[in-house]
Amino acid sequence: MSDLYVGYLKTPGAHKALLRVVLPLVIVLFAVVAAAVSAQMRDPGEAVWDIASSKQWTGRLVEDPFPMLITDEGEAVLIVEIGKFGALPRLQDHIGKRVTLEGFPLERDGRKMIELLEGDDAFVSISDDAGRAFENVVGDEPVAMVGEIVDGKCFLGAMKPGDGKAHKACAVLCIRGGLPPMVRTRDEAGAWIYPLLMVDGSTDLPDRVLDLIAEPVRIEGALGRVGDLWVISCDGECVRPYPDLAGP
């Protein structure tokens, strides 16, 4: 009769010999597979979400086309709440004022966002002085760009990666909740840029455009700028799947 394994008895000699060979091979195999899978994963980029310590920003609070702080240097810093929510309801009474806000910073490639602290401490100081004027250009320069619609908060650092089809459901939920839709695309020099997307005059995207999140799209619209933030505005019919438009 062959040896059997019983947990409370000594391991049979034949089993010990087999395990000495099989277990190291299994460990090596898992290590090789893990390394191969990791090598195939794309780099999520240098997005940062610093929740270890809060930071303060001072500037003028604006809501059009999306709640943001315009610093004295003309830098546009988008503002959101903790979680998947926009910050406009809490900021509404302070639009147009000079404020100091406190929150957690998110950043990718120089594009910044504030995740507001909870409670009244998020507004460190508020005055009616709007501060230095800033350039506000939501222009009419015709433009066509190819890229991917992403939700700004996840893409700027809350998730890594915060784009691609694996992130589609989360991105749709975030944008429905009031987070800023952005377009991940390249400028003429090949550098990544992330303009804010407005459809039919709003950053609240219609269902037809929400369905195209995380897919390659071509957007034909007008390019403008608020502070240092590029904005592309168009109607819903000007956002179309890119593969369907690809020529020979």
Give tens-digit pLDDT for 91-100.
988 888 899 9
CB 97 within 8 A of CB 130: yes
pLDDT band at 21 (very low <50, low <70, confident <90, very high): confident
Q: What is the mean pLDDT of residues 68-83?
A: 93
pLDDT for the residue 87: 93
Cβ-based neighbours of 93, under 8 Å, separated by 6 or more: none
Comparing 93-97, 102-106, 108-112, the range with the smallest average pLDDT is: 93-97
pLDDT band at 43 (very low <50, low <70, confident <90, very high): low
pLDDT for the residue 244: 55
Above pLDDT 90, what percent of the chain? 53
- Chain mean pLDDT for the chain: 86
Phi-psi region of 154 (alpha: psi -120 to 50; beta: other; left: phi over 0): alpha
Q: Is the pLDDT of residue 1 over 60?
A: no
Confidence (pTM): 0.79
